[in-house]
Amino acid sequence: MWPSQGDFSNLVRFASTGTRAAALGIVRGFLLVALLLFVSCGEATRSNARPIVVVAANQSFNWSGYVQGALEKNTTFHAISGEWVVPKAKQRRAGEAEYSSTWIGIGGGCLETSCTLTDATLIQAGIDQDVDAAGSADYYAWWETIPAPSVRIPDLPVRAGDRVRVTIVESPLTPAIWTITISDLSTGESFSITLPYTSTYGSAEWILETPVAVSNSGAVTVGPMPNLSVVGFDAATANGVSPGFVVEEEMRLVDFDLSLIALPSAPDREGDGFNDCTFRKMCHVPRGGPH
């Protein structure tokens, strides 16, 4: 069986450290510079999904959604699942290539709600909703184990409006052996892979993301994010049970001027789902949620 409470020594050893506000600002600055340098080494304007780039509690430069941490929950994470409908992506600005991902993962997020500590490992899988400079949308499934690059899954075509379910589960008998499964519930097609990965199990997250990117000219941007239809995460589980989301676990995606790019709603009544909205001042709770 998975441990109900982890030995947090390895988790904290791999986490980003710093306990004073001033020190955290400096550390996060260095982390952001390192991330941007990493992205700029490539052709740029497109990065793989990455661990959270923290601004403050409940604010990030690349993630929107819900994040549960091992120190908050007093448990490590060994299994995660979730369902959502692939959102329709539309170009926000003419002539601009724009990028977004919807995914679930273990690691890479905040260890507690103040997000003063984060997990540097990350195993994740989901769907990309990108738009090229000509305005054509591209939807595809992928998986990733940080620090390796993401792997596109050509044998599992997806479209806007398809309902997908993703599960990531560590073997309860063989630690560090994981099975990732992505199922398109609308078409009946699925993909599964079993692989080794060393995680520190520090967080579980259900995320809408846009990358922090550096263009070939050196311009640093958040995203850019396309316009997306509302993403409704539902039927979420962590370690095989409902995560019981609370609003303190929400993460809002902001631009460098702290303007909102994406934000999640409050959790639904069951505590296993929420909506995620781009370029809105409010994001309404899914039907059946609290009022």
Q: Kindly report the pTM of this predicted structure.
A: 0.86
pLDDT at 217: 82
pLDDT at 216: 78
Query: Exposed e or buried b for every residue in 188-219, given b needs 16+ CB within 10 A?
Result: eeebeeeeebebbbbbbbbbbbbbbbbeeeee
State the average pLDDT for the chain: 87
pLDDT in tens, 30-55: 344 444 443 433 333 444 568 999 99
- Neighbouring C-beta atoms of residue 13, cutoff 10 Å: 10
CB 90 within 8 A of CB 137: yes
CB 2 within 8 A of CB 239: yes
pLDDT over threshold 80, residue 211: yes
For the chain, report the end-to-end CA distance as a whole number of angstroms: 38
pLDDT in tens, 151-174: 999 999 999 999 999 999 999 999
pLDDT at 11: 52
- In a 3-state reduction of DSSP, which class is residue 276? strand
Query: Tokens representing 66?
Result: 């819900």
- In a 3-state reduction of DSSP, which class is residue 102? strand
pLDDT at 12: 46
CB 210 within 8 A of CB 261: yes
What average pLDDT does range 270-283 have in this prediction? 97
pLDDT at 127: 98
Spelled out in words, what is the top-level CATH class assigned to the domain 8-278? mainly beta
For 150: left if phi > 0, alpha if psi spans -120 to 50, otherwise beta; the answer is beta
